[in-house]
Structure 1
Amino acid sequence: MANDSIKIGVIGGGQLARMMVPPAIHLGLRISVLAEAAGMSAARAADAVGDYRDPETVYAFAETVDVITFDHEHVPGEILRELEARGKQVHPRPDALQFAQDKILMREKLEELGVPVPAWAKVADEAALQNFIDAHGGRAVVKTARGGYDGKGVRVVSEAAEVRDWFTALAEDARGGFLLVEELVDFVRELSQLVARRPSGEIRTWPVVETIQRDGVCAEVLAPAPVQHASTLDEAAEIGLKVAEGTGVTGVLAVEMFETRDGRVLVNELAMRPHNSGHFSIEGSVTSQFENHIRAVADLPLGDTSMTRPAAVMVNVLGGPSEGTMLARYQQALAEHPAAKVHSYDKQSRPGRKVGHVTVTGADLETVRAAAVAAAAVFE
């Protein structure tokens, strides 16, 4: 079977690619990774190492596989469109992926779809930015249109001069461009809706989850999100489906949202790949986000996304231990917390870096959360 099976190529060698490997193997599919450098998280599946921004490197990798998917959104769109022109399958397709690559295109598309978003504008200079800040309470969120993640490329400002370096960089870039500015949303919590969609249009959703951020990085995920207002979670689920169908995404889509103090649900970000807010699904769902992503890009029937237990909590291991070895900490965590599922990304410790995660499932959210937090604390 293996010799006749579909071969999936993943561009990017991080932990998301790493976690795609086991379900691909279990489904009898072959999988290969184009890693940015040797020794990355998905190195065990890396058949090639090279720059994803170099067209010839990507074209050569694509010739060795049947379908291309991604660990991140940063492969230039012109390279992906050329792959399609050469007859290669790319999922998500570049016409959909562009809305996760460019935050301004994303905002324009979401408004076209009638999806609620924060008040926003694209600005090319300090004067335009200052006008927006002054009109929205004296503070605003400024984002680079491309390349930001985990809090990078995002600043909360009260004066346009606080992003002068970004405007200077745009002026020096031959392509020019804009910054995105948004209202500073008064939110009570952040939510995420994961959706899997295959090329045929079959679609599945996981329960809406609550994500807890620290220093701009996801720290915890509570699945399902605690019910404060049932209508809010229903609205979040409807938004996820509308975005998936409206953009034509294939694979897993994460729609990150704010629940505001005045009861609105606003879309913050999109990711068109497996996402940190869905890691709980490896143990917490009948079919994980990684398996359904692989199924979707191979155009196989999607799996059941219902919860395996009433509650699941995922806690990121950020940075790793300040002293001692990761191996010793993993041994301690496994010994002291046998109910916890500990995932290593095989990364060197570095402050703020995602080096692994811990998931606990059970009957009661608060009990499960306490256990997951305690297990992750072993790595501090």
Structure 2
Amino acid sequence: MTLTVGVIGGGQLARMMIPAATHLGIDLRVFAENDGSPSAIAATQVGDYVDADQVLRFTREAAVDVITFDHEHVPQAVLSALVEAGVAVRPGPNALLYAQDKLLMRARLSELGLPVPEWAAVSTEAELDAFIEAHGGVAIVKTPRGGYDGKGVRVVRRGREANDWFEAPGIGALLAEELVEFRRELAQSVARRPSGDIVAWPVVESVQQNGVCAEVIAPAPNSAGRIADVAEQIAVTVAEGLDVTGVLAVELFETTDDRLLINELAMRPHNTGHWSIEGSTTSQFEQHLRAVLDLPLGATGTRDAWTVMVNVLGGPVGGGLDSRYAKAMAEHPTVKFHSYGKDSRPGRKVGHVSVGGSDLDDAMYQARAAAEILTE
């Protein structure tokens, strides 16, 4: 009997699950937000993921064995309705709660004794001013819900710089964090089955531009030994402590005083894991499907000494990647290309490229040059 996975959300993550599902003989069904979504090829229903009736109808009509997600924004009420209807939801509502609310996430990670930046919940300008004064005159402020790719994040030196957020309806308390001095950003991905089995990929280095992931190097240079061991242990502890099923990505700061601090969590395949499609024995997308179906997990070793992934950000307004593929492919035949089926606009993540090899400098050059052609 063919297993069926339902995915809520029609973005590029759902799109990249399609080849993995095809190879495994899994029937993938997608509940997309609109007709033109990146995963339209597999979308079986278009609707509103905040409407429990629509989502429940999708699960019945698609006859899913399990529901998983392209994003973490499905409301708790909808998740609870699915569970009450007997639908297997992975990751479950109790885990996703911590991916949806940064204040709850920081509190739970602190309870688990995991390393996080110094933080506080602040509800007024005065409270934020006090936090700023106690942390060297500057702080990072985040909205607890809805922020991603640099949205909902500010560097502030006066509490009044966040007054519009304090006054906005529905936001409530904000998350204030110390401004961490770090050498680089790392990301550690793991996958966990409901039975508890867990595997980890190598820790990777990520480079951000304007709050958006721009490049990933796998494995992270100079990470063998203590850094790799600590990063993996942190991610495993998060996955077990929050009861995550499926892929979990933990974004980390490597500080100037040689610590690793947790920055963000994602309970789904993540941009920093796209390198694994070509670069690992088992991609994060195949592994996520295996994990949520409670199937044996695949090996996570690397295929090459280095894999470099570069996001394609922007390009001519309203254009796609097709018109520029021929030139990029001709000049960089070792590069693998992934289009998300999106129209271009400045800063928009419309695809990625990746390349593996034994020479990191050459792999980096090939990936960057191919991505540059695609944004001309």
Instruction: Please report the TM-score for the alignment, with normalisation by the length of structure 2.
Output: 0.97
State whether structure 2 residue 93 is matched by structure 1 residue 94: yes
Distance 1:10 1:338 in 2: 33
Amino acid at match of 1:81: S
Residue ranges of structure 1 left out of the alignment (5+ in a row):
none
CA contact (8 A) 1:13 1:46 kept: yes
The residue that corresponds to 2:41 in the other structure is: 44
- Aligned CA-pair RMSD: 1.2
The residue that corresponds to 1:142 in the other structure is: 141
CA contact (8 A) 1:255 1:267 kept: yes
- In structure 2, do the counterparts of structure 1 residues 72 and 320 end up closer, same or farther at CA, with 3 Å as the change threshold? same
The residue that corresponds to 1:377 in the other structure is: 372
CA contact (8 A) 1:286 1:303 kept: yes
Distance 2:111 2:233 in 1: 16
The residue that corresponds to 1:262 in the other structure is: 257
The residue that corresponds to 1:340 in the other structure is: 335
- In structure 2, do the counterparts of structure 1 residues 258 and 330 end up closer, same or farther at CA, with 3 Å as the change threshold? same
Q: What pairs with 1:64-75 in structure 2 (closer than 5 Å)?
A: 64=62, 65-75=64-74
Percent identity, aligned pairs only, is 61
Q: Which segments of structure 1 move beyond 3 Å, counting only runs of 4 or more?
A: 321-325
Distance 1:102 1:325 in 2: 34
SS at structure 2 position matched to 1:89: coil
SS at structure 1 position matched to 2:374: coil
The residue that corresponds to 1:60 in the other structure is: 57
Residues 139-165 of structure 1 show CA distances to partners (whole Å, capped at 9, x for unaligned) of 100000000000001011111111111
Q: What pairs with 1:108-257 in structure 2 (closer than 5 Å)?
A: 108-169=107-168, 172-173=169-170, 177-227=172-222, 230-257=225-252
- In structure 2, do the counterparts of structure 1 residues 325 and 7 end up closer, same or farther at CA, with 3 Å as the change threshold? closer
CA contact (8 A) 1:227 1:233 kept: no
CA contact (8 A) 1:321 1:379 kept: no
CA contact (8 A) 2:187 2:206 kept: yes
The structural deviation recorded for 1:13 is: 0.4
State the number of aligned residues.
Answer: 373
SS at structure 2 position matched to 1:378: helix
- In structure 2, do the counterparts of structure 1 residues 125 and 78 end up closer, same or farther at CA, with 3 Å as the change threshold? same
State whether structure 2 residue 58 is matched by structure 1 residue 33: no
Residue ranges of structure 2 left out of the alignment (5+ in a row):
none
Residues 292-318 of structure 1 show CA distances to partners (whole Å, capped at 9, x for unaligned) of 001111111111110011110000000
Q: 1:307 aligns with which of 302, 305, 322?
A: 302
CA contact (8 A) 2:203 2:223 kept: no
The structural deviation recorded for 1:230 is: 3.3
Q: 1:10 aligns with which of 7, 10, 28?
A: 7
Q: 2:350 aligns with which of 355, 369, 378?
A: 355
Distance 1:26 1:230 in 2: 34
Instruction: Please report the TM-score for the alignment, with normalisation by the length of structure 1.
Output: 0.96
Residues 83-117 of structure 1 show CA distances to partners (whole Å, capped at 9, x for unaligned) of 11111000001111111111011101111111100
Distance 1:177 1:376 in 2: 40
- In structure 2, do the counterparts of structure 1 residues 52 and 323 end up closer, same or farther at CA, with 3 Å as the change threshold? closer
Distance 2:279 2:132 in 1: 42
Distance 2:86 2:229 in 1: 39
Distance 2:285 2:228 in 1: 23
The structural deviation recorded for 1:233 is: 2.5
The residue that corresponds to 2:274 in the other structure is: 279
CA contact (8 A) 1:103 1:146 kept: yes
